[in-house]
Amino acid sequence: MGEWIYRASIDQDWISLIFFFNLLLVVGLHYFEASRFWDLLKFYSSSIYISKYTTDRNLSFQGAFNTLSALLIFSSVSLLILWGIKKTSGTELYAFEFYYILFAIIFFGWIRFMFVQFVLKQMNMLNKINSYHFRAFTHNTQFSLFLSTLLFIGHYTHLAPEIITVFLFMLFLIWGILQAGILLSFIKSNPKDIFYLIFYLCTVKIAPWLWLYFLIIETRM
C-alpha cells in the first residue's frame, strides 16, 4: 500500500488532529449504539439498516448517533474539499482554511436543514420526505466513513494521487447511483408530487451547493 510517511512538520500536525477527531467520532458512534454502528458498516445491506432504524427519533435526526454522524459528514467533506484545492492549485494549505470550510459547511448544513424542514412542513410533506432524507443521510454517513479512510491513506502513504483519485471517483459514482435510486423511488411512490420534487431539487439540493462552491472555491481563486 505504500511506505508510511512521518510528518514532522508542525504545519502539518493539524491534519493529524483532524483525522484523530474523525476517529473519535467513529469511536463515539460505536460507543453510543454499537449494534447500529456495525449494521451501518454493512453497506451491502443498507435497506435492512434503513428499515430497522427508521423511527420517529431518527427521522427527526435526534440523538447522539445522528449528531456524530452529521459531524463526520461535515468533517470528511471539508477534508475532501481541502484535498481537491491542494491537488488542483498545488499550494500548501493551513489549519485556518480547513476550519473556515468546516464552519461554513456546518452553518450551511444547519440553515439548509431548518429551511427544508420549514418548507416541507408548509407543504404537508414533512413525514413523506423525511423517510427519504433518512435514507440519504444513511448513505452519506457510510460515504463519509469510506471517504475519511481513503483520504487518510492518501495523506500518510506514498500511494500515487492518481490511484486515490480513481478510488474517489468510484466512491462518488456509487454514492451518485444510491442518491439517484432514492429520487427514483420517491418519484415512483409519489408521481403526483413531481412538481414539489423539482422545486425541492432546485431550491434545496442544487442552489445551496452552488452558493457554497462560490463561497469556498471561487473566493480562494
Domain assignment present for 25: yes
- Say which residue, 60 or 150, is predicted with more confidence: 150
CA 7 to CA 24: how far, in whole Å?
A: 20
pTM, entire model: 0.81
Domain assignment present for 30: yes
- Say which residue, 218 or 8, is predicted with more confidence: 218
Residue with cell 467513529: 26
- Say which residue, 109 or 92, is predicted with more confidence: 109
Domain assignment present for 5: no
Whole-number pLDDT of residue 24: 95
Q: How many domains does the chain have?
A: 1
What integer is the mean pLDDT of 89-100? Answer: 77
Domain assignment present for 2: no
pLDDT at 88 over 80: no
- Say which residue, 50 or 72, is predicted with more confidence: 72
- Say which residue, 135 or 120, is predicted with more confidence: 135
Domain assignment present for 4: no
Domain that holds residue 104: 10-218
- Say which residue, 117 or 10, is predicted with more confidence: 117
Whole-number pLDDT of residue 201: 63
Region of poorest pLDDT, from 19-23, 27-31, 109-113, 199-203: 199-203
Domain assignment present for 140: yes
What integer is the mean pLDDT of 100-125? Answer: 80
Local confidence band at 117 (pLDDT 50, 70, 90 cut-offs): confident
| Crossing angle of the two packed helices 95-122 and 13-32, in degrees rounded to 10 | 40
Domain assignment present for 156: yes
Domain assignment present for 52: yes
User: Considering only CA atoms, which of 178, 159, 154 is closest in space to residue 15?
Assistant: 154
pLDDT at 90 over 80: no
